[in-house]
Amino acid sequence: MTTPSHGLSLATDHGRLWRATPQGNQAVVMRTDSPEPARPALSHGRFRHVVAVLVPDDAIALDVAVIRQVFGPRTAPESDVAGLYEVVLCGEQGELAPLEKLVTADTVIVPGVENPLAQRGIVVIDALRAAYAAGARMVAVGTGAFLLGHAGVLDRRRATTHWQYAREFREQFPSTRLDTELPHVDDDRVHTGGGMPSGVDLALHLLSLDVGRARAEAVGRAVIATPRRADIRSRRDGEEPMAVVMGWLREHLHEPLSLSRVAEELYISERSLVRKFRSATGATIFEWVNRERIDRARLLLETTDRPIADIAAAVGFGSPETLRRNFQRHVGTTARSYRHKFRHAAVD
């Protein structure tokens, strides 16, 4: 039996959902008859989901390190997804795997780059084009979106990038619908993140799409000490101001929130709050709050049997209809379908 799904060729057989790869192979997407935990999609007959990271000369080292932390081998007892992924660093430098590795990867990630407006070699751009044509999930962190743009991956798609380069991005890629209000944007199998701390945020978001929010939260705690790093971690000599704001917002997500109330509670002017929050996260306060509410709803859907109406109230959306509208926009499915997927779906 065939099943349409976002342009992929899918078929069910003996309780398994298969995806036909561009090479004609079969890749198990998920099983439909097992309560085992979900796993990332596999292809090419492999036992691990291959994450290929493009590492140009000016790659932001922190982004590369974060990707290796989230998807690489881990021994922390809090994490149960160790061994599901294989991370391969690719580039033109001798110590890196060849660019051809991008073409056979399941996921290709471009980290942020220091010089997003610099000319890129045709070999690199062609490798990204080939990976996209082969069916890989394509990801860019911050300014790495410029490389996906040059490869044509973002043509007529929604995307985001670092907000400081929004004007240049729009000029170079006019067919891309840029949205710098969101910390990350999903458009089918293309995912982009914006703002300085988006590498952690986006990596954990991808992990949650693969294995569920609850397990991604565990990885975040084990690897980075906080599951969502759209904020800036506290420093030993005192917390960053916006980390304080985000901590307060998380404690009050279930309550009605207004800009004036947040500013008053935290003793900061509304204008300063808006400017500093946007600078720290790349998003407005209420876009960020909506994302946090969605994440909390996802966690409750995965781990509890609470009714949808109760979850809507518990995370601050107030009504099931408001939850439904926001959940569909950010996750691309209904809350009920999401709960079913992470209760009953898994990959061999």
Query: Chunked in runs of 10, what are the mean pLDDT values of the chain (348 residues)?
Result: 40 39 44 58 85 91 84 63 87 87 96 92 97 96 96 96 92 94 89 78 90 84 50 36 78 88 81 85 87 87 84 90 90 86 52
Q: Long-range contacts of range 181-185, CB-CB < 8 Å, 24 or more positions apart?
A: 181/283, 181/284, 181/287, 182/283, 182/287, 182/291, 183/230, 183/281, 183/282, 183/283, 183/287, 183/288, 183/291, 184/160, 185/158, 185/159, 185/160
Gyration radius from the chain CA atoms: 20
Contacts of 100 (CB under 8 A, 6+ apart): 127
pLDDT the model gives residue 27: 44
**Closest Cα to residue 286, out of 317, 314, 313, 310?**
317
In the chain the domains, ranked by start, together with CATH numbers, are 2-31 (no CATH), 49-210 (3.40.50.880), 231-344 (1.10.10.60)
pLDDT value of position 296: 86
What's the pLDDT score for residue 125? 97
Per-residue DSSP letter, 292: H
Q: Is the CB of residue 188 less than 8 Å from the CB of residue 180?
A: no
Report pLDDT for 196: 58
Q: Give the pLDDT of residue 171.
A: 96
| DSSP one-letter string for 40-56 | ----TT-SSEEEEEE--
pLDDT at 198: 67
Could you tell me where the DSSP H helices lie in the chain? 61-71, 122-133, 145-150, 166-172, 198-211, 213-223, 241-251, 259-265, 270-281, 285-303, 308-315, 320-331, 335-344
Q: Which amino acid is at 164?
A: Q
pLDDT score of 78? 52
User: Can you tell me the distance from the alpha carbon of 262 to that of 284, in angstroms, rounded to the nearest whole number?
Assistant: 13
Here the tokens at position 75 are 């021994």
Of 68, 209, 57, the C-alpha closest to 147 is 57
pTM: 0.61
| Tokens at 108, concatenated | 């290709």
The reported pLDDT for the residue numbered 62 is 77
Q: Which two tokens stand for residue 161?
A: 């990038």
| Biggest CA-to-CA distance, the chain | 60
For 33, the 3-state DSSP assignment is: coil
Amino acid at 325: R
CB under 8 A, 24+ apart: contacts of 306-311 = 308/335, 308/336, 311/335
Q: How far apart are CA 44 and CA 59, in angstroms?
A: 28
